[in-house]
Amino acid sequence: MAQDGRAPEARILWIDAVRGITITLVVLFHAAIALATWFPATESNLPEPLIRLTALLGLVRMPAFFFCSGLVFSFAIARGWRWFLARRLRFALWIVAVWTGISLAVERSGLHLYPQYTTPFILPEQLLWVPYGNLWFIYAMLLVSALALLLRPLPLAVQHLLVLGLGVLAMLTDRHVVLPEGLRLLAGGLAEDALVFFMLGVWWGPSLIRFLDDPRIALAAGFALPALGLSALNMIAPVGIWLPILVMLPMTTGFLAMIRIFSVWEPGTRFFAMIGRRSLEIFLLHQFFLAAVFALLERFAPGMPPVTALLLLWLVPLAGSVRAARILRARSGPLLFDAPAWLKLPTARRGAERAT
């Protein structure tokens, strides 16, 4: 990542911090969804600035995370399809199988993982081909990674046009095709976040990182680009594929620039980088803690003020996930968060046999 020879550790650290900040915001978003289920009139009970801030952060939360994921993938893409099949596909299949099973077991035990849904999240006949709740993210990462490899031989301009077309297709599918909830989440996530921003990270991530290493450029981008995105949002209210391009793209770039500026505060950067290095575990674990806290508060503290409830639904799952990730990795090794070494796909096994 340090192709220009300058401060590779600092650059990696602040990218990890971006992932830490965005996964923290993801937990906040899911806490707000649960809160809205508990208090149907929540918006009248929460402070207006908090409501507006949550809405604005929603424009940069997942785009920034997918951009960083695309940036990281840009350094692995040269390894080609064999690496993809042996590592990324194997990882995704294992994570989906393990965590779908865990989610089903928890639901069967009586803890409803997704309070906003009144029925079981997926039907038995939809297992694995329909993402189970938050696992849509794993499906999306697998799809956009495969897409990046497929498009790699094509001219960059053609790649841009194809990604725009696929984004429009995903958006139309999300809006006009009746899908199981997990597939609807996947289509919406691809349309608004994953397709555009993961591919932007693959194409332009390394160049943007080098630009943001200049404090003057980072400062200008951190203030000017969010203002540009908000102006577009207020003046022309873009919809469809134009929302991520005209609003979310400048705001996300400005968001990254501001994090780069404040990354000089080393304690804060290291704190969020620590969370960022656990982002997969937090993404997989936090919904279990959130559902448990929600069930306890709804039963034993139904009169709790919404702001207090939001803080508990946000911070307890976040802290609990970080702690649980450490314990589970120490007790079970990588089995819950990575495919075991003995699990090899047929193509990867044949490649290993040839190597020997």
Burial zone of 139 (CB within 10 Å; 0-12 exposed, 13-18 middle, 19+ buried) = buried
pLDDT of residue 77: 92
Q: In terms of C-beta distances under 8 Å and separation of at least 24 residues, what long-range contacts does 77-86 make, across chains too? A: 77/148, 77/149, 77/152, 77/202, 80/149, 81/149, 82/347, 82/348, 82/351, 84/145, 84/146, 84/149, 85/345, 85/347, 85/348, 86/344, 86/345, 86/347, 86/348, 86/351
pLDDT of residue 346: 65
pLDDT of residue 3: 41
Q: Residues of the chain whose pLDDT is less than 50?
A: 1-11, 42-43, 351-356
pLDDT of residue 348: 52
How would DSSP label each residue in 194-261? IIIIIHHHHHHHHHHHHHHTSHHHHHHHHHHHHHHHHHHHHHT---TTHHIIIIIHHHHHHHHHHHHH
pLDDT of residue 268: 96
Phi, psi (rounded to 5 degrees) for 24: -65, -40
Burial zone of 242 (CB within 10 Å; 0-12 exposed, 13-18 middle, 19+ buried) = middle
CA pair distance 27, 318, nearest whole angstrom:
7
User: Which 3 state secondary structure label does DSSP give 90?
Assistant: helix
Tokens in use for 313? 């639904």
**Burial annotation 159-183 (CB, 10 A radius, 16+ → b, else e):** bbeebeebbeebbebbeeeeeebbb
Pair 233, 247: CB distance under 8 Å: yes
Pair 63, 193: CB distance under 8 Å: yes
Pair 58, 251: CB distance under 8 Å: no
For tokens 């695309």, the residue is: 70
The DSSP 8-state label assigned to residue 340 in this structure reads: -
Q: Kindly report the pTM of this predicted structure.
A: 0.89
- Mind listing the pLDDT tens digit for each residue in 163-182? 999 988 988 888 888 888 88
